């Protein structure tokens, strides 16, 4: 794939070379679909949301000013498209009790997230993430898997970086509870030894 930056293709599209949009779609389609699936939790609807995201992005491309990365901008479009779909469907998120939370458990969970090279652990963590409410799953995915900064996540979710930090902390608490329930005790022991 070409190493030309996104702005190069955006300029071409705005100048009338609409085929250049295919490069941007190709670059971001997997992540947009993944984020949509995490929020919508329905494969067919996530595919529709991903398509809607690219249609909205294409139609609004002239509004992209370049004051943030294109990835941040398109993730924001995807996030808002997901929120619109959720409102339309009026689906209720399940809240998870965090009564069992402890600071030690957060540390264990962070150790688990830092060991993502191991495919089996990565899949286990993905499965646990999918048990979280949509917005928290989306937030943790952006932070841990897409390496988005607090500021970038704030732009995507239309909240300030401090609110992102608070939401991230609470989401990590909930994920820690799920990990504690899902991971086999010997895996947790392994993480504790790594501390």
82-102 per-position pLDDT tens digit: 988 888 876 444 444 444 455
Structure confidence by residue, pLDDT tens digits, 97-155: 444 455 555 555 555 555 444 556 667 777 888 888 888 988 988 888 888 889 999 99
Read off the pLDDT band of 2 (50, 70, 90): very low
Domain map of the chain by residue range?
Answer: 3-89, 103-193
Report, as an integer, the average pLDDT of 71-91. 86
Residue 39's closest CA among 97, 109, 93? 93
**Assessment of whether the complete model's pTM goes beyond 0.75:** no
Q: Which of 65-74, 78-87, 180-189 has the lowest mean pLDDT?
A: 180-189
3-class SS of residue 55: helix
CA-nearest of 171, 64, 67 to 128 is 171
pLDDT of the residue at 64: 87
CA distances from 22 to 10, 13, 113, 132, 163 (A): 11, 10, 33, 33, 35
Provide the pLDDT for residue 111: 57
Q: Domain 3-89 carries which CATH code? A: 1.10.1740.10
What pLDDT does residue 189 have?
58
Q: How far apart are CA 152 and CA 131, in angstroms?
A: 24
Please tell me the distance from the alpha carbon of residue 121 to that of residue 188, in angstroms, as a whole number: 11
* CA 31 from centre of chain: 8
pLDDT of residue 100: 46
Which of 54-58, 73-77, 150-154, 176-180 has the weakest average pLDDT?
A: 176-180
Question: Which pLDDT tens digit goes with each residue over 13-47?
Answer: 989 898 999 999 999 999 999 999 988 888 999 99
Tokens linked to 14 = 């705005």
Domain 103-193 has CATH 1.10.260.30: no
Beta-carbon neighbour count of residue 29 at 10 Å? 14
């Amino acid at each position: 794939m070409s190493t030309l930056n996104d702005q190069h293709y955006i300029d071409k599209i705005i100048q009338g070379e609409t085929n250049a949009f295919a490069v941007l779609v190709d670059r971001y389609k997997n992540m947009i679909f993944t984020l949509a699936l995490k929020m919508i939790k329905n494969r067919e609807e996530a595919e529709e949301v991903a398509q809607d995201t690219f249609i909205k992005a294409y139609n609004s491309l002239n509004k992209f000013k370049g004051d943030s990365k294109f990835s941040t901008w398109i993730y924001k479009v995807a996030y808002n498209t997901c929120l619109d779909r959720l409102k339309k469907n009026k689906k209720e998120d399940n809240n998870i009790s965090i009564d069992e939370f402890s600071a030690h458990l957060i540390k264990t969970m962070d150790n688990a997230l830092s060991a993502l090279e191991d495919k089996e652990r990565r899949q286990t963590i993905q499965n646990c993430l999918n048990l979280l409410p949509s917005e928290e799953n989306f937030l943790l995915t952006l932070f841990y898997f897409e390496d988005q900064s607090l500021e970038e996540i704030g732009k995507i979710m239309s909240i300030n970086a401090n609110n992102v930090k608070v939401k991230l902390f609470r989401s990590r608490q909930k994920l820690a509870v799920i990990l504690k329930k899902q991971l086999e005790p010997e895996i947790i022991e392994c993480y504790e030894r790594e501390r």
